[in-house]
Amino acid sequence: MPYFPDLSPYANRPSRPGDRPFARRVGWLGARQEFPVGRVPAQAVRSVLAMVGRRQVVNVVRSQARCPLCPPGGSHPVVMPLDGQDVVLGDAEIEVTGRDGTVYRAPDLIAHYMDAHSYRPPQAFLDALLADADRAG
């Protein structure tokens, strides 16, 4: 999976009608890049897992990406539990929208990054994620 700095513009291809021009990347971590660490609310991880579990995702691919931060030979695919079910990560992105209308896109592995590697996403993304969890109930 490629590395992109947090809050860098999201664009996989040239703009087309209907593209979201103000989307920002979050959680596109690489093995050789430093990233912010710190505590995140457990509900943030749970919210990502719930989105993935109900397939509220975008840009689904046919294979699971490996965690670039785990040692070679580590568990693949990455699987995390949610309410007695296994949630398989690494094949999609999540999308949340902040109060100001900013759209954030993150790999679904962001749940694993926060949980296993203490990655702390930007606060604006966490706020959007937690607000989305509140709306979803």
pLDDT tens readout for residues 111-122 = 999 999 999 999
Which three-class secondary structure string do you get for the chain? CCCCCCCCECCCCCCCCCCCCCEEECCCCCCCCCCCECCCCHHHHHHHHHHHHCCCCECCCCCCCCCCCCCCCCCCCEEEEECCEEEEECCCEEEEECCCCCEEEEECCHHHHHHHHCECCCHHHHHHHHHHHHHHC
Instruction: Give pLDDT, residue 67.
Output: 94
Report field, pTM of the whole predicted structure over 0.85: yes
The Cα 113–Cα 110 span in angstroms is 5
The Cα 101–Cα 93 span in angstroms is 18
- Going by pLDDT thresholds of 50, 70 and 90, the confidence category of residue 56 is confident
Q: Tell me how far apart the terminal alpha carbons of the chain are, to the nearest angstrom.
A: 31
Tell me: the pLDDT tens digits for 63-86?
889 999 999 887 789 999 999 999
